[in-house]
Amino acid sequence: MKTKIAVLVSGGGTNLQALIDAQGETLLSGEIVLVISNNRDAYALERAKKAGIDTAVVLKKECGSQAAFEEKLKELLTAYGIEVIILAGFMTILTENFTACYPKRILNVHPSLIPSFCGEGFYGLRVHQAALDYGVKVTGATVHFVNEIPDGGEIIAQKAVYIEPGDTPETLQRRVMEQAEWILLPQAAETVCAELQKQDPRK
């Protein structure tokens, strides 16, 4: 039995694609069985459908509150028997009521070397702009477990990427994705899945 994975997305889904590709190349012993988005128009949903993966859309405004939104997510995850949750560009901060239900089972990829340029307000191009503004010579990506503190959970893996002269937030974002995020996230997911399989002899 493979470890069942759900991926939560909000946008284009390039990190989801990296996970789908890793699964296709049997670099991932877990199986992505569900992709959930909080954005009906997320292209990530199309990527999932092309790969034959079930999708669901959960909108906070339709749920009426953060608590109801998280409850709906939990219902879906339970229905699919999800064991590992991967946040791949999921633009909603989850509360302790949710994260505490899945200790060391939720992974997130962040486009910097935590603890630099992370926490509330640091997402997307803002992270890369901050790195350039500060003048650091090295940035990268971090995969970490998720708890109630934004980008505050235990680090699983990091990969460095050099900043080059003339970089813009856009060029840096692309290089960090290509050289770090798309490599690191599948590897970290495999590390967590392999550990869970060791703990469960039925797998």
Q: Which of 47, 105, 110, 128 is catalytic?
A: 110
What does the alpha-carbon distance between residue 54 and residue 180 come to, in Å, rounded to a whole number? 27
Q: Helix and strand tally (H, E) in the chain?
A: 8, 7
Q: What is the pLDDT of residues 59-108, one digit of tens each?
A: 999 999 999 999 999 999 999 999 999 999 998 989 999 999 999 999 99
**Residue 198: predicted pLDDT:** 84
Does residue 41 surpass a pLDDT of 90?
yes
Please state the rounded mean pLDDT for residues 30-57. Answer: 97
- Give the global pTM: 0.93
Domains of the chain: 4-199 (3.40.50.170)
HSE toward the beta carbon, residue 17, CA cutoff 13 A: 12
> What percent of the chain has a predicted confidence (pLDDT) above 70?
99
Contacts of 188 (CB under 8 A, 6+ apart): 107, 109, 143, 156, 157
Decide: 185 and 143 in contact? Cβ < 8 Å. yes
pLDDT of 203 over the 80 cut: no
| β-bridge pairing 155-162 and 138-145 | antiparallel
Among this protein's residues, is 110 annotated catalytic? yes
Kindly indicate the confidence band of residue 162, based on its pLDDT and cuts at 50, 70 and 90: very high
Rounded CA separation 170/129 (Å)? 9
CB 43 within 8 A of CB 13: yes
Q: What is the pLDDT of residues 165-184, one digit of tens each?
A: 999 999 999 999 999 999 99
The torsion angles phi and psi of 123, rounded to 5 degrees, stand at -155, 160
